[in-house]
Amino acid sequence: MGPKQITAEGQGVNYRALSDLFHISEQRKDTFTYEISVQMMEIYNEQ
């Protein structure tokens, strides 16, 4: 089930970006209303 200890440095860029996005939207919830949708495509360059 994945690593037992995950640090901020060990998290992927997608996770960190979404975490920041949700954190900012939570901070500004009294001023702005957000609708967030996400689409991701993962591409592997295996040779």
For residue range 30-45, list pLDDT tens digits in order.
Answer: 999 989 898 988 888 8
Distance CA 10, CA 3 (A): 10
The residue type of 44 is Y
Burial of 18 (0-12, 13-18, 19+ CB in 10 A): middle
pLDDT at residue 35, as a whole number = 92
For residue range 4-38, list pLDDT tens digits in order.
Answer: 676 767 778 888 999 999 999 999 999 999 898 98
Distance CA 36, CA 31 (A): 16
Domain residues for the domain of 40 are 1-46
The total domain count for the chain is 1
**Structure token digits, residue 4:** 């037992």
16 or 46, which is more confident: 16
